[in-house]
Amino acid sequence: MAVTTLTTEQREQILKPLLSSGWEMVENRDAIIKKYSFKDFNEAFGFMTRVALKADKADHHPEWFNVYNRVEVTLSTHDCQGLSTNDIQLATFCDEAAK
Ligand code: HBI
């Protein structure tokens, strides 16, 4: 099934809560970013491993950047060039995986 960008209503109901919990809109792009900070590289890479396995299972992949204990995760759906429910699901999983 073709993936579509979030509706105005979905942005209000399911995107807004993420934007209140550390996710931010990326400038000039329909995408969200969150900057996670962990105790050390081991914790950061553990997080990345959990997210990577989930992402590949869901066939929905993050754009990310890691230096030592920091991981910046950007989510957007390339197939529709914007935010879809796939991004909401993966963002929610990232927050769980970072706990
Ligand atoms: N990951 N973030 C993101 N967005 C996509 O549209 C996407 C993806 N991973 C795989 C995927 N699409 C596949 O459906 C094909 O487009 C390769």
Indicate the SS3 state at residue 5. coil
Closest ligand 1 atom to 75 CA: 2
- What is the pTM (predicted TM-score) of this model? 0.97
8-state DSSP, 26? P
DSSP string for residues in 52-88: HHHHHHHT---EEEEETTEEEEEE-BTTTTB--HHHH
* Residues at CB less than 6 angstroms from ligand 1: 59-61, 77-79
Which tokens go with 17? 């809560």
Residues 34-78 have pLDDT tens digits of: 999 999 999 999 999 999 999 999 999 999 999 999 999 999 999
Give the distance (Å) from ligand 1 centre to CA of residue 53: 14
Residue among 59, 63, 74 to mutate when testing ligand 1 (max atoms within 8 A of CB): 59
Tell me the ipTM for this assembly.
Answer: 0.96
